[in-house]
Amino acid sequence: MNVLGYAAPSPAGALEPFTFERRAMRPDDVLIDILYCGVCHTDLHLARNHGGFTTYPIVPGHEIIGRVSQVGEKVSRFKAGDMVGVGCMVDSCQHCKPCLIGWEQDCAEGPTFTYASLDRHDGMPTQGGYSDAIVVTEKFVLALPDRLDPAGAAPLLCAGITTWSPLHRWNVGEGSKVAVIGLGGLGHMALKLAKALGADVTLFTRSPGKEEDAFRLGADHVVLSSDPAQMASAAGRFDVIIDTVPYDHDVNPYMPTLTLEGVLVLVGYMGPLGTAVNAGGVVRGRRAITGSFIGGLAETQQMLDFCGQHGIVSDVEIISINQINQAYERMLKSDVKYRFVIDMASLKS
Ligand code: NAP
Ligand code: ZN
Ligand code: ZN
């Protein structure tokens, strides 16, 4: 079937309307009319070829909320009319060890990403959620809890699960002390989720002026990372730091703020760190630097259900699809409060 979307034609080119082919429905497929799609910094990294592996044209978007319009004959969990979500992956091998333990994101054969992958059955390039419809294998479709506003829920599919997964892995709960570096899409979800889990929450930001929003979003404390006195006052405090910074940065100043056996979890930047890590920062106090990549399907549903119970959605600025290029420029200036979400009805207007 032909669908309409918005694609980047080249690393420097603005996103523009693009018509492309979605595969015909397989027996285990769900066809979804896309209502909203969040704008993740990863979309910008891939559209602009920051990783050096993008093929064009590319239709980004992996924070998808939509309504099921059709299901294949083997689909049992969904029916036409259901509100659903799709995140960063649309398939995986389903038989390797990571897949069998619910870590589809770390599939040994590589998951099929929602965009910038090749379909593992027919080899067609996958294209993302900046479009009016998508076909997804049932296993990779999530149920949207009734209570959640669909536009606000879209960012849960990436920003939500990416920050939930490490909070969950490191047993964050009542009495935990958590810090978040960077108040953007991932960062604001980390504040909300850590607070709802019962933690005492701190924001590290390089941007003066975000304090008031940080407190409203769930922070108990704010530390301006450019102020050495404020950094020194946070010494020895945190069990877990979630680092959402999207570009190369020096992690050494954050290490002394961890408590004994505290962990700094990289979830933002994935390239080589330009400033060498001081081994003393991890040797002393048995601290660790680790990382975390999105989250598995079962864990994503668990996070959505938790958000349903606690009424948690993202703070969104709804845009029309023709504002996407300005949205990318604003994202580069950290001028997002705190996630852009595209109203996909704007594609048809
Ligand atoms: P975002 O909305 O642009 O927020 C990033 C925040 O980081 C900014 O608001 C800013 O916060 C801070 N920041 C930005 N540039 C910085 C710099 N050069 N140095 C220091 N701080 C900086 O981005 P996002 O959508 O949250 O995504 C964050 C990163 O996570 C991206 O690289 C994205 O690709 C990655 N990501 C990873 C996963 C995963 O599975 N691990 C999943 C999704 C996204 P302040 O103004 O408060 O300092
Ligand atoms: Zn993302
Ligand atoms: Zn696998």
Q: What is the DSSP string of 189-205?
A: HHHHHHHHTT-EEEEEE
The tens digit of pLDDT for each residue in 267-326 reads: 999 999 999 999 999 999 999 999 999 999 999 999 999 999 999 999 999 999 999 999
Rounded distance, CA 162 to CA 268, Å? 9
User: Would you place residue 50 in the very low, low, confident or very high pLDDT band (cuts 50, 70, 90)?
Assistant: very high
Same domain, 150 and 165: no
119 and 10 in a single domain? The answer is: yes
Return the best residue to mutate from 245, 299, 300 for the ligand 1 pocket (most ligand atoms within 8 A of CB): 245
* Judgement on whether residues 169 and 55 belong to the same structural domain of the protein: no
In angstroms, the CA 165 to CA 340 distance is: 22
> Which tens digit of pLDDT belongs to each residue from 286-296?
999 999 999 99
Residues 257 and 303 in one domain: no
Domain with 31, as residue range(s), is 2-158+295-348
Q: Note whether 311 and 240 are same-domain residues.
A: no
Q: The CATH number of the domain where 107 resides is what?
A: 3.90.180.10
- Which amino acid residue places its CA nearest to atom 16 of ligand 1? 245
State the chain's mean pLDDT as an integer.
97
The model carries a pTM of 0.98
List ligand 1's pocket residues with C-beta within 6 A: 40-42, 45, 158-159, 162, 182-187, 205-207, 210, 244-247, 249, 267-269, 293-294, 331, 334, 336
- Is 167 within 8 Å of 197 (Cβ atoms)? yes
**pLDDT tens-digit profile of 157-191?**
999 999 999 999 999 999 999 999 999 999 999 99
Confidence at 349, pLDDT banded by 50, 70, 90 = confident
The verdict on 232 and 176 lying in the same domain is: yes
Task: Indicate whether 241 and 153 sit together in one domain.
Answer: no
Same domain flag for 6 and 125: yes
Q: In angstroms, what is the span from residue 244 Cα to ligand 1's centroid?
A: 5
Where does residue 126 rank: exposed (0-12), middle (13-18), buried (19+ CB within 10 A)? buried
* Tokens read off for 244: 């959402």
Co-location of 144 and 166 in the same domain:
no
Number of domains in the chain: 2
Contact assessment for residue 270 and residue 135, using Cβ atoms and an 8 Å cutoff: no
CB distance 32 to 133 below 8 Å: yes
- Dist. CA 146 → ligand 3 center (Å): 31
Residue 43 Cα to ligand 2 midpoint, Å, equals 7
Tell whether 48 and 126 lie within a shared domain.
yes
Are residues 142 and 152 located together in one domain of the fold?
A: yes
Please give the single-letter amino acid code of residue 62. H
Is the Cα torsion angle 77, 80, 81, 86 positive or negative in sign?
positive
